[in-house]
Amino acid sequence: KAGVTQTPRYLIKTRGQQVTLSCSPISGHRSVSWYQQTPGQGLQFLFEYFSETQRNKGNFPGRFSGRQFSNSRSEMNVSTLELGDSALYLCASSSRDKGFTEAFFGQGTRLTVV
């Protein structure tokens, strides 16, 4: 079956702009989590959605937001971009049927803020 799909793969934005990233989870998976990866901070949890509801949130400012649609696809939005938002943004999906034991990650979206 198809894996986790993230679009776009690469993105260049200017400071102050906003950006929307998309994640399509594995078919049947209803849990979608987002992570930010930077050289300095490593992999950090942003938030998790399950059944269109945000279930958990990491320690990020309110400029970072997300949503999940009825088909489990998820988007995350970053407003008023800062240089420090340059990172690899990763999405992971998991299944309640397996107790959320495994998280399957997409290839990520590489965001560069200039």
Partner 1 sequence: DAKTTQPPSMDCAEGRAANLPCNHSTISGNEYVYWYRQIHSQGPQYIIHGLKNNETNEMASLIITEDRKSSTLILPHATLRDTAVYYCIVRVVGSARQLTFGSGTQLTVLP
Q: Which residues bind partner 1 (CB under 8 A)?
A: 4, 31, 33, 35, 42-45, 48, 50, 55-56, 58, 88, 90, 92, 94, 99-108
Nearer to partner 1, 14 or 59 (CB): 59
Q: Are 113 and 14 in contact (CB under 8 A)?
A: yes
SS (H, E, C) 22-49: EEECCCCCCEEEEEEEECCCEEEEEEEE
The identity of residue 90, as a single letter, is L
Shortest distance (Å) from residue 102 CB to partner 1? 5
Shortest distance (Å) from residue 43 CB to partner 1? 4
